[in-house]
Amino acid sequence: MSETDVFGEDFYRELFQTMLEGFAFCQMIYQDDQPIDFVYLRVNPAFERLTGLKNVAGRKFSEILPGVKESNPELLKIYSQVALGGPPARFESFSESFGGWLSVVTYGHGRGYFVAVFENITERKKAEEMLNERLKEIEGFNRAAVGREIKMMALEEEINGLLKELGRPPKYSR
């Protein structure tokens, strides 16, 4: 079997339908050379599963997710840059619309078009946040323990000094 047989249209159709990552093929909309919106031309089943958004093909981003352009203005900028021939980009973005984090890789596919491939990383972000909180807590305990140790050493020195004044041997040695 030749490579063209293995990597034929059926292979890519199956890949598109079964991949775990969300996939969107989009066209930017410009006004006076400024990106103002984009249209979802095609998405895969994982797109819908990961975002909860249904029937988006042929619809504008601003229609599907009102307010996102204002809350995440960097999205249009990044997508526009790659759609105009810029290098591929990787970024993470929080979406209020479905209350989760996405890790996105995007690249241009002809002038004015881009592809976004993403995965939902909300659980990873929650775990990172929990670990950071625990680290801060442990660092606080460590500072308290070190501070207590320094105070104990000073107290031992003071006791030894008083014992010396009384002519008695020191109680603590280091």
Q: Across all residues in the chain, what is the average pLDDT?
A: 87
Say which residue, 25 or 1, is predicted with more confidence.
25
58 pLDDT band, cuts 50/70/90, is: very high
Answer whether residue 2 shows pLDDT above 60.
Answer: no
Helix (H, G, I), strand (E, B) or coil at 73: helix
**Structure tokens, 168:** 């008695």
Q: In the prediction, which pLDDT does 83 show? A: 96
Q: In the prediction, which pLDDT does 152 show? A: 81
Share of the chain above pLDDT 70, in %: 97
* Interatomic CA distance for residues 60 and 48, integer angstroms: 15
Which residues make Cβ contacts (< 8 Å) with residue 113, sequence separation at least 6? 25, 26, 27, 28, 41, 83
- Mean pLDDT for 37-50 is 94
- Is 50:120 a contact under the CB 8 Å cutoff? yes
CATH for 3-120, options being 3.30.70.370, 3.20.20.80, 3.30.450.20, 3.40.50.740: 3.30.450.20
Which residues make Cβ contacts (< 8 Å) with residue 100, sequence separation at least 6? 94, 120, 122
Q: In the prediction, which pLDDT does 105 show? A: 97
Answer whether residue 3 shows pLDDT above 70.
Answer: no
Q: In the prediction, which pLDDT does 108 show? A: 95
- Is 95:71 a contact under the CB 8 Å cutoff? no
